[in-house]
């Protein structure tokens, strides 16, 4: 199955100048805990913004550049979303980790959304798509522990609604 993990502001901003807009230590820990030992799927820009290959995770990187190469056995390059099937097993949870283009392209194929909702507006250049509340139900909502920036934020988990 595919799940999205994202940290977004009240107005859905997720990044600017190929960087995050905030630093929330607890959120980074949560990202690590949820994604370690799972496959992570990302756009080429997000991969480059990580600056390194994250340990204990298979990285699937989308690019249209046929010459794009990364010399690391934990990084697989694909050129089309249809190639995801080669690496994504249905029985395990695979995380779509961004950025904006990849979230927009894959949200319709995802069953779960792990949203870190920061209760403040930010000006960004990359935005998360609107969550259609008719399609998703909240299955967990936790307030984030007090942060060094004094941001108020929540961890909200959505599951795709199933119609019988």
Ligand X SMILES: NC(=O)c1ccc[n+]([C@@H]2O[C@H](COP(=O)([O-])OP(=O)(O)OC[C@H]3O[C@@H](n4cnc5c(N)ncnc54)[C@H](OP(=O)(O)O)[C@@H]3O)[C@@H](O)[C@H]2O)c1
Least spacing, CB of residue 79 vs ligand X, in Å: 5
Least spacing, CB of residue 161 vs ligand X, in Å: 23
Q: Show the tokens assigned to 43.
A: 């756009």
Residue with Cβ nearer ligand X (105 or 117): 105
Residue with Cβ nearer ligand X (15 or 144): 15
- Burial environment of residue 78 by CB neighbours within 10 A (0 to 12, 13 to 18, 19 or more): middle
Site residues for ligand X per CB under 6 A? 6-7, 14-16, 18-20, 42-46, 49, 62-65, 68, 79-81, 97-102, 105, 126
Least spacing, CB of residue 107 vs ligand X, in Å: 12
Least spacing, CB of residue 115 vs ligand X, in Å: 9
List the one residue out of 140, 163, 123, 119 whose CA is nearest residue 3. Answer: 140
Q: Distance from CA of residue 6 to its chain's centroid?
A: 4
Residue with Cβ nearer ligand X (116 or 136): 116
Q: Are 15 and 21 in contact (CB under 8 A)?
A: yes
Q: Distances in Å between the alpha carbon of 150 and those of 34, 82, 132?
A: 24, 42, 29
């Amino acid at each position: 199955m595919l799940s999205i993990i994202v940290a977004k502001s009240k107005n859905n901003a997720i990044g600017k100048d190929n960087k995050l807009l905030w630093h929330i230590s607890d959120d980074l820990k949560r990202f690590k805990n949820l994604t370690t030992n799972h496959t992570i799927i990302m756009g080429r820009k997000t991969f480059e913004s990580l600056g390194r290959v994250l340990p204990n995770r298979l990285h699937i990187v989308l690019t249209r550049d046929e010459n794009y190469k990364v010399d690391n056995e934990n990084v697989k390059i694909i050129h089309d979303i249809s190639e995801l099937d080669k690496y994504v097993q249905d029985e395990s949870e695979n995380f779509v980790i961004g950025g904006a283009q990849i979230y927009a392209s894959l949200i319709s194929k995802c069953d779960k959304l792990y949203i870190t909702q920061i209760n403040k507006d930010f000006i960004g250049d990359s935005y998360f798509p609107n969550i259609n509340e008719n399609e998703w139900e909240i299955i967990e909502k936790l307030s984030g522990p007090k942060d060094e920036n004094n941001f108020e934020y929540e961890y909200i988990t959505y599951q795709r609604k199933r119609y019988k």
